[in-house]
Amino acid sequence: MMYMFTVSSYSLRGVLVLACLAIPGLAERPKGENTEQFLQEHNIPITRQAVTAALFNEDATVRRSASHVLSNRWPKDAVGPIQEAMLREHDGLIRVSLASDLAQIGETAGREMLLSECHDSSEWGSTRVFAARSMFDLHDDSCVDAVLEILRSPSDPQDTYGKVDALQLMPSVIKHFSGQEYRNVMDLMMNALNDPDAGVRLTASITLGSLGDPSAIAALQAAIMTEQDAIVQEAMLGELKRLKTSQQGQK
């Protein structure tokens, strides 16, 4: 799977990033009745046999939806088929989605797969962060180090969403740190303000603004001075204003 974006395509991407920040997990998979409707629209009846068979459909989104429906409707019967599908799945994001469904119904194999995926440095960063998000949903912080590793790594122009997704998770990650470790994590986010990718810079500014830590003001001011993308610069200015307002409220 390959994600390639340029600054020229930024405006649409910015909308998507903002939407994902506002509604965590929105783009990961349809929920509840939406997954059943999706399967029906693909001529798959909502029966245990048909949904189980759909786990091996050629369409990756069908496989993902089938796993979600099966684990919610027939959790006792879902374990074996989903685990088999997960082990055969070649698409990393879909494999993580299946693992998440298994973990949500209490299966250790699902949690183990999520842990393996988030720490797999050969996997796409976006897939690793998806696994980390799923672990956070399970109240398991075992993937925190993997998220920080992605932020520390040089940007991959073929997988810029890895850093975008990691930055979106930072409000959940940073609460685990204090003192110098907290400062180190803040530095990672402030460094992302100068990332080659516009979407990463945008997300970094929004994340820093949402955290409300005035220590990021100087970094945002410096980034605004060098920012070449007018839309990103405008967003940075808005976040700078938010941080200054937060600073005034803390006095």
Is residue 155 domain-resident?
no
Q: Do 149 and 120 contact (CB within 8 A), yes or no? A: no
Predicted pLDDT of residue 12: 32
Predicted pLDDT of residue 210: 94
Is residue 249 domain-resident?
yes
Q: How far apart are alpha carbons 220 and 207 in whole angstroms?
A: 12
Q: What are phi and psi of 202, to 5 degrees?
A: -60, -50
Is residue 140 domain-resident?
no
CA nearest neighbour of 18 among 178, 164, 230, 219: 164
Is residue 209 domain-resident?
yes
Cβ count near 18 (within 10 Å): 14
Q: How far apart are alpha carbons 60 and 28 in whole angstroms?
A: 12
Predicted pLDDT of residue 16: 37
Q: State the total domains in the chain.
A: 1
Q: Do 118 and 103 contact (CB within 8 A), yes or no? A: no
Predicted pLDDT of residue 114: 98
Is residue 223 domain-resident?
yes
Is residue 181 domain-resident?
yes
Q: Do 6 and 197 contact (CB within 8 A), yes or no? A: no
Is residue 125 domain-resident?
no
Domain enclosing residue 2, as ranges: 1-26+160-251
Q: What stretches in the chain show pLDDT beneath 50?
A: 1-32
Is residue 100 domain-resident?
no
